[in-house]
Amino acid sequence: MAKERSSGAGDPARTLELLWREGAADGGSRRGSRQGPRQGPRQGSRRGPRQGLTVDAVVDAAIGLADEGGLDALTMRAVAQRLGVTPMTLYTYVPGKAELLDLMLDTAFLRMPRAAFAADEPWRERVTAVAGENRALYLRHPWVAELRVHRPPLGPGVMTKYEHELGAFEGLGLDDVAMDSALTHVLGFVQSVARAELDARAVDRESAMSDHEWWAAHEPLLARMFDAERFPLASRVGEAAAVAYQGVYSPDHAYAFGLARVLDGLAALIPPAAAGR
């Protein structure tokens, strides 16, 4: 199960060949029609790539399933059913689920909307844009937040994303290691708050009640059981927070408050002259 929620768990050589399939022997392009891997059936065999089916179609079907039901809904059999083929047919295009996960992740990264940075744009605005792009990605594709990405697939999507996001820190007087570390820090924060937001949405969905509805239903019992004199700080602060959040938790507030603190921390690393540019 752990392997099925991790990137980089498949055959590295086959994964890289599929990720960078622009120059593959089949002549396919990243955005055009592609046939299956080079290790296809011999000429004359009846078992070959299905006409009209491509690696992109397999990846798109897998992403659709994961968007709808999470990684638990993603199986090779389910992908085959969505495409109207047998599971064995998929292996003509993708060696297995591990490699498919890498292709899905790289494709999601490649398709992320990205705004170009203006030369005179303040660094906080650039980093805020990067954070917002990643938050939107997690909310659009919740399964991405489920994946453990310790060894990311080094495909065009990953590299395009990394190149773009490093640009938010370029010219700030940071050395290369500090730039990478700063980006990692920002992305780690965004992933953590995105997971919390997705968990909150799942609770709402599974209970068929919003936080506001849940607290309204249980407030009479809590009022009888909770001793405000015994827990004065919890009572005072909790009530103020509940009013501000209109519930027990506000994803938007947690994100905005946390990102501001992350930016304040990064500001300590940036020389004043560079920060003011």
Burial of 156 (0-12, 13-18, 19+ CB in 10 A): middle
Q: Where are the beta strands (DSSP E) in the chain?
A: none
Question: Cα(16)–Cα(266) distance, rounded to whole angstroms?
Answer: 34
Question: Cα(54)–Cα(83) distance, rounded to whole angstroms?
Answer: 11
Q: Which of 19-28, 78-87, 233-242, 268-277 has the lowest mean pLDDT?
A: 19-28
For the cut 60, the answer to whether the pLDDT of residue 48 exceeds it is no
Question: Cα(4)–Cα(10) distance, rounded to whole angstroms?
Answer: 10
Segment 108-129 shows an average pLDDT of 93
pLDDT of residue 124: 96
* Residue 22: band (very low, low, confident or very high) from pLDDT cuts 50, 70, 90: low
* Residue 39: band (very low, low, confident or very high) from pLDDT cuts 50, 70, 90: very low
* 123-275 CATH pick, 3.30.559.10, 1.10.357.10, 1.10.287.3510, 3.30.56.10: 1.10.357.10
Q: Which of 71-75, 168-172, 212-216, 259-263 has the lowest mean pLDDT?
A: 212-216
Cβ atoms within 10 Å, residue 200: 18
For the cut 90, the answer to whether the pLDDT of residue 55 exceeds it is yes
Taking the model in full, what pTM does it have? 0.81
Which phi and psi angles does 6 have, rounded to 5°? Answer: -125, 145
Question: Cα(45)–Cα(41) distance, rounded to whole angstroms?
Answer: 6
pLDDT of residue 33: 37
> Do the Cβ atoms of 248 and 242 come closer than 8 Å?
yes
**Which residue intervals of the chain bear CATH 1.10.357.10?**
123-275
| Radius of gyration of the CA atoms of the chain, in A | 23
245-265 core/surface letters (b: 16 or more CB in 10 A; e: else): bebebbbeebbeeebeebbee
pLDDT of residue 267: 96
**Which residue intervals of the chain bear CATH 1.10.10.60?**
3-110
Question: Span 3-110: which CATH code?
Answer: 1.10.10.60
Secondary structure, 3-state, 47-108: CCCCCCCCHHHHHHHHHHHHHHHCHHHCCHHHHHHHHCCCHHHHCCCCCCHHHHHHHHHHHH
